[in-house]
Structure 1
Amino acid sequence: MLSASPATSAPKGSPRFDNRIRTKRKGWLAPSVENRIDAHLSRIEAVLRLLPVTKITVETASFDLQLLKNPDISGKEYQEGEQLGFWNIREYVLCRDGHVCQHCYGRSKDPVLNVQHLKSRRMGGDSPGNLITLCETCHKALHRGEITLKVKRGQSFRAEAFMRIMRWEVLNRLKASHPELEVNNTYGYRTKHARIANDIANSHCADAFCIAGNLGAERLSEFFFQKQTRRNNRPIHKLSILKGGLRKRNQAPYEIKGFRLFDKVACQGEEGFIFGRRSSGYFDVRKLNGTHISAGISYKKLRLLEKRQTYLIEIRKEEALPPLPEGRGLRA
């Protein structure tokens, strides 16, 4: 008779699912997601060190998935009239469909988007499963009877799950690290509704202003813009060794004539950052939006203002963004 040893006597070092990090630590997130979360939290902590903040509001998503699933949900957030519910549904449908016409998929080149009922509002209601994104061209052709939609009613919320992971994690970590502060969440459709209702020009600063909720405050015309820089600190950057033990150098030296990559400098009467360097002492100086101040200027004409940091800071004038190329309402 043959006997078998227990499964627990597997060879040492054999792969096991118990060794996977996701089974060891609850709440594991991919390193790329963790990096984005840490970047957001570090900027919030920087503001908290400078200003006497008493309340934090985080825009967690473009739409409220809970309200979509249960339109009868109660609470002060849902007692502001039917118009807010309309904005929530519309933003969800546009985001779900990738802001692309679901009939021609952009072939018409029409930038105006409408949210169309698959069945009439009386028969199918305003639920997301009965709505679809159509461009203005296809929308008019549908009502003229020239085209027929092949899409059926009913779509899941699966596509939005990953997008929401990072945003909710930021909110929950803020609540845990700052129990002394009031930490709330809001949604993009509420922000957009507040901006339009108060006739505020579309911009990233305007959205932040509406998220804060103090719509009577006096606004500034400038804001601080920050950009995170790469560190080049991975082992692959350190261990490229040639024969003879020499480290491979396919780039200019780390520092040239007292200047380094991403140093903030005064150049031709403007403030900019070094985005490129040459061993000869000539530098590529740009704004953080990529605008060239000089593509190749001598170090003799530069003045160092600030050594490079992980986050580069630039003062910008607030400018209104162009309106989104979308329709304004649900149409049937």
Structure 2
Amino acid sequence: MVRHTPFVIRLKDRTVAGSTMQGVELGIDPGSKHTGIAAFSERGGSRIGLYALQLDHRGGQIRDKLASRAALRRGRRSRNLRYRAPRFNNRTRPQGWIAPSLRHRVDGTVSWVSRLSRWAPVTAVHVERVAFDTHLLSAGRPLEGVEYRYGTLHGYEVREYLLAKWGRACAYCGASGVPLNLDHIHPRSRGGSNRISNLCVACVGCNQAKNATPIEEFLTDRPVVLVKILQQSKAPLRDAAAVNATRWALWRALTATGLPVATASGGRTKWNRSRTGAAKSHTLDALHVGALDHVTGWPSMVLVIAATGRGTYARTRADRYGFPRLALPRTKQHHGFQTGDLVRAVVPTGKKAGVHTGRVAVRSTGNFNIRTRHGSVRGISHRHVRLLQRADGYGYTTHPEARNRAAFPPPPEGGGIHAGGN
């Protein structure tokens, strides 16, 4: 056994003569908060899902910590508590620079592609290079004519963008888990355009009730909802912006690994899922990236990998003004363990009796906290803890693969997007 999670074994008695090795391919669905990775085998256009990973990024935490550090430094300088000579502020950034929170998403994805390439014979990579063509969607291109009626793939691009923007819930009543239609916020019969900023998602009941009524009249008794819809309709999709900002950097980094890299769009992925009847999830999206004919099966469980970092160099904690308020231990290991190790604790008796497997947070007292998939268990003695895997900057849990269908039913043959009756 080479590794506990993901479980990896090395075959030592394999004979080379007369032996053949079947390669696997990787599908990647990059996202702002989560990235889905699927390992599959492909034969004649038919894919069989073998393993599914969901990588949870911490780009938001990196952004918040950088903003907090900048605010603390700015505050210390402005309070004139110490003198600091001004620095030359005309520093240039290298070509291809992206923000640290975005670079983390690229580096984390490429790191796991490299790991999987060491553990399995990966022969090719399929990746979504762009989830939505936001420039095209926001350019005011009318959804009419041939593309409006017969542009199946283009319709999927628009629907998927609006589902992500409005949280897969009705913009008027907040209903989720029901079929959703596209609705014009300002009705077309009253001069409303087909721009993406004038579209939202609505359940069948709200869509029919609104019909061609101006939104100001339809939401007269709900002014808070009216203000929210008008503001959200003009706001860009931040997650899509983050993905689009890193798409070229991710493609270049994957190409540098030496593996063949094929690209596709998110609309194509959703179109593939509609044909195979798969549910909406990051890992199933990764399995359906690119050109395919059939998907004959996929794993029932998903390994969720949360980026947690490898600790911090700081030896103090700061107060609200940025000054140190307490000292942290100088050593990371206590009783042979350090925070982030994957452990299993078998507690024989007491209120916490049972088997607890998860990521440990060590304490110098010897009473550790273990974060499992069911929650955090506190105060476990180090005598009951056994090491499974050293900390590598990630936390591991599992959850079942999604089973529910997507919110939008597939469009009828020869039809376009689901539009309201306004």
Q: C-alpha distance in 2, partners of 1:114/1:145?
A: 16
Q: C-alpha distance in 2, partners of 1:156/1:46?
A: 38
Q: Determine the structure 1 residue equivalent to 2:278.
A: 200
User: Structure 1 residue 86 and structure 2 residue 171: aligned?
Assistant: no
Q: Determine the structure 1 residue equivalent to 2:402.
A: 320
Give the fraction of aligned pairs with identical amino acids, expressed as a percent: 27
Query: In the alignment, is the contact (CA less than 8 A) between 2:278 and 2:405 conserved in 1?
Result: no
Q: Determine the structure 1 residue equivalent to 2:132.
A: 63
Q: C-alpha distance in 1, partners of 2:214/2:188?
A: 18
- Give 1 or 2: higher strand fraction: 2
Query: In the alignment, is the contact (CA less than 8 A) between 2:362 and 2:369 conserved in 1?
Result: yes
Correspondence 1:101-180 to 2 at 5 A: 108-111=173-176, 113-117=180-184, 118-120=186-188, 128=196, 131-134=199-202, 138-143=206-211, 145=213, 147=215, 148=217, 160-175=240-255, 177-178=256-257, 180=258
Q: C-alpha distance in 2, partners of 1:239/1:183?
A: 44
Q: Determine the structure 2 residue equivalent to 1:4.
A: none
Tell me which of 320, 343, 351 is aligned to 1:265.
Answer: 343
Shift of 1:163: 3.9
Correspondence 1:248-263 to 2 at 5 A: 248-250=326-328, 254-263=332-341
Shift of 1:87: 0.9
> Secondary structure at the residue paired with 1:169?
helix
Runs of 4+ in 1 over 6 A off after TM superposition: 154-159
Flag the 1:156–1:294 CA change in 2: closer, same or farther, 3 A. closer
Q: Determine the structure 2 residue equivalent to 1:278.
A: 363
Structure 2: runs of 5 or more not aligned: 1-84, 219-225, 319-324, 347-353, 411-417
Shift of 1:165: 0.5
Q: Determine the structure 2 residue equivalent to 1:29.
A: 98
Query: What does the per-residue CA deviation read over 1:227-260, in whole Å, with 9 as the maximum and x for residues that have no partner?
Result: 32222333x33798xxxxxx95346963232222
Query: What does the per-residue CA deviation read over 1:66-118, in whole Å, with 9 as the maximum and x for residues that have no partner?
Result: 7646989xxxxx9xx6222211122233445566766x5xxx34335531134
Q: Which amino acid aligns with 1:26?
A: Q
Query: What does the per-residue CA deviation read over 1:173-211, in whole Å, with 9 as the maximum and x for residues that have no partner?
Result: 322x14x53312222232222222211233333222212
Structure 1: runs of 5 or more not aligned: 1-12, 73-77, 241-246
> Secondary structure at the residue paired with 2:122?
coil
Q: Determine the structure 1 residue equivalent to 2:310.
A: 231
> Which is higher, the Rg of structure 1 or of structure 2?
1
Q: C-alpha distance in 1, partners of 2:235/2:121?
A: 43
Q: Determine the structure 2 residue equivalent to 1:191.
A: 269
CA RMSD of aligned residues (A): 4.1
User: Structure 1 residue 20 and structure 2 residue 91: aligned?
Assistant: yes
Query: What does the per-residue CA deviation read over 1:268-327, in whole Å, with 9 as the maximum and x for residues that have no partner?
Result: 37562344333332222222x4x237332222222222222223445x353325555668
Greater mean deviation of Cα atoms: 45-54 or 224-233: 224-233
Q: Determine the structure 2 residue equivalent to 1:331.
A: 420
Aligned length: 293
Query: In the alignment, is the contact (CA less than 8 A) between 1:264 and 1:271 conserved in 2?
Result: no
Q: Determine the structure 2 residue equivalent to 1:48.
A: 117
Relative contact order higher in (CA < 8 Å, ≥ 6 apart): 2
Flag the 1:97–1:306 CA change in 2: closer, same or farther, 3 A. closer
Query: What does the per-residue CA deviation read over 1:23-62, in whole Å, with 9 as the maximum and x for residues that have no partner?
Result: xx23221222222221111111112222222221112333
Q: Which amino acid aligns with 1:143?
A: N
